[in-house]
Structure 1
Amino acid sequence: MFQHPCLADGRKGNDRIAVVISKKIKPYIQVGDGIKAKCEDIQLDVDIFILDPETKSIQDNVLHQLTLKNYELIAAIGPEAAVFIWGAASVQSPKIYTAILDPENCAGLPDNARGIALKIPVEIQAREISQHFEDLGTIGVLFDPRFNQEFYDQAQAAALSHSFEIISIKVGSKKQIFQKLKAHIGEIDAIWMIPDQTVISEKIIQYVIKQGIYQGTGVIGYNSFFTLSGAVFSFEFDYTALGNQTALKIKTFLESGQWMADPPVFKTIVNQRIAKKLGISVKQ
């Protein structure tokens, strides 16, 4: 729990916040739209700024506005915006981030920074998988241990409380994926793909899904691209809903001075067409 000393006494400020968006891409804009829409409902005024990482004059203007106005709080959408506002010594307002995949490894973001990361706790993912798949015995997690050994360890521990077993499909390079997948695919019921620097690539995702379908093995993914490519089950983010969640968290913080860490809102997508094709029973 994080408590901001200036707000801990319940004092209310001007109820105006600033939102800084890293760049003009669809997911970040949707988060900003979600914050703005929910702020209208909860009577919180918001100014939105969009950075351009390649245009210093735009950054200077945003910094000038953030310094000039006495915002009750500044929210950063995406890693570039987070690094920008935390690196601005002249900005004294409380700060939070949202829509950052891996804040722990975001260079320039302090360890005590608070916000909403795009990381669904492994235990929650394991629970969702168990609830949706009725007859799933063994899941292979495809990952590079240099980046995701901790995820695998947590998944293996979480599986003990649920109805399936976890085994590792470890790779140290993209070149190993074909060999390791071929060695394991016959002994698993599903392949769990997670955000991983070695495995992230549209071609690799499509290749793994295609091999899974060929072998009668479903793939569990983590965004809409997996669903469109033929994954049987995916965790997906509704970025507008994430913006709504962020706005409500900000409102609570401004009223109480306390920040409680929550996982991001998400939805699960079942591809029943692929499930039927593979003969896998999956609950909606």
Structure 2
Amino acid sequence: MNYIVLIIPFLTLVLLASPASAWDVLVVQKYRAKPYADVVRGFDSVDSGKTSVLILEELSEEDPVREIRRRNPDLILAIGADALAKVSKIGSIPIIYCMVLNPEPLAGNEDNITGISMSVSPEKQLATLRKNLPGLKKIGTVYNPAKMSSFLEKARFAGQKIGVQLVGAKADRPQDVPRALESLPRDLDAFWMLPDSTVTSPEVVEATILYSIRTKTPVFTFSDKYLRIGAAISLELNTFELGKQAAEMAKKIRSGTAIKNIPRAFAEQATLSFNHAVAAKFEIPLN
């Protein structure tokens, strides 16, 4: 009988504690993709909650918000701009976004939303480029102002602090990019290819690499896939680490920290790579 007296209270405590300790995370993404899966793996490696995935393209329910409310998760992890756009007006559930290039217009000033931009901070990117191009004084870029104005403003400020001038040429459409490239000054030390869909179509990337060859200007980019076609340096987002970074935010929310007190952030971890042949051509020291 003594055993029964001891065991029953223990089981009662376990049963009572289980619902309180439950932590359901709903991952919302438009489609299945390896980078998104890597984010989820990184998130799960840190967060101990129960994670389920909602694929918007596979959802029979016309209104994903209705399905999300039916599931009633403790937290939404919105991966990608399409997912953030769908969930951003759900005011009652905490939301962490990631893999979103330009989150400000989508997230607005909502108190229940925080997250991580798809970009590494401009300070870190420029510091990395400066380390590998010690003589860096002037860098050019082409960008769509509707998508990248906020990032460019931060980048200009970051450049001023380390003595690097950023010259930007606007392109509202992919067909505007060749003209924008030609408008850049000829004394640039590097060209910065941004993760802006306006400037990353195959035709535009080809025009950018030809510009690099013609003007003898090395290209600094956000993905190592462009190294294979002539870019010199890449600083590529580590999506697994991005998931871990999001999970650290989730832990703060779970512990009771208000989302408005968890600042929206840039991605912290990225991988630096070189095209050695191109780097040698431009006499870039490989540290």
Which bracket does the TM-score occupy, shorter chain normalised? 0.7 to 0.9
1:47 paired with 2:19, answer no
Match of 1:217 in 2: 217
1:112-134 superposed Cα distances (whole Å, 9 cap, x missing partner)? 22122213332332222222321
Aligned to 1:155: 155
Q: Distance in 1 between matches of 2:178 and 2:88?
A: 42
1:85-124 alpha-carbon deviations (Å, 9 max, x no partner): 44557xx443322222222223xx4532212221333233
In the TM superposition, what is the alpha-carbon distance from 1:185 to its structure 2 partner? 6.0
Give the SS at the match of 1:119: strand
Q: Which has the higher helix share?
A: 2
| Gap runs ≥5 in structure 1 | 1-11
Query: Greater RCO between the two (CA within 8 Å, min separation 6)?
Result: 1
In the TM superposition, 1:1-284 aligns within 5 A as 13-22=20-29, 23-39=31-47, 44-53=48-57, 55-57=59-61, 64=67, 67-68=70-71, 71-87=73-89, 92-106=92-106, 109-112=107-110, 113-184=113-184, 186-259=186-259, 260-261=262-263, 262-267=265-270, 268-283=272-287
Q: Could you tell me how far 1:194 is from its partner in structure 2? A: 1.6
CA drift of 1:265 comes to 2.4
Deviation at 1:219, TM superposition (A): 0.5
Larger Rg: 2
Alignment CA distance shift 1:105-1:202 (3 Å): farther
Task: Give the letter for the 2:83 counterpart.
Answer: A
- Unaligned 5+ residue runs, structure 2? 1-18
1-side partners of 2:179 and 2:189: how far apart? Answer: 18
Report the secondary structure of 1:212's partner residue.
helix
Deviations 1:127-176 (A, max 9, x none): 22222321223211222445434443433332222243322334454444
In structure 2, how many angstroms separate the alpha carbons of the residues matched to 1:172 and 1:67? Answer: 40
Displacement of 1:212 in angstroms is: 0.6
Instruction: Tell me if structure 2 keeps the 8 A contact 1:63–1:88.
Output: no
Equivalent residue, structure 2, for 1:3: none
Determine if contact 2:191/2:217 at 8 Å carries over to the other structure: yes
What residue identity is the alignment partner of 1:74?
Answer: I
How many positions carry a matched residue from both structures? 262
Task: Indicate the percent of aligned positions where both proteins have the same amino acid.
Answer: 23
TM-score normalised by structure 1 residue count: 0.78
Check whether the contact 1:191–1:218 (CA below 8 A) recurs between aligned residues.
yes
What TM-score comes out, normalization by structure 2 length?
Answer: 0.77
- Partners of 1:138 and 1:166 within 8 A in 2: yes
Letter in 2 for 1:46: K
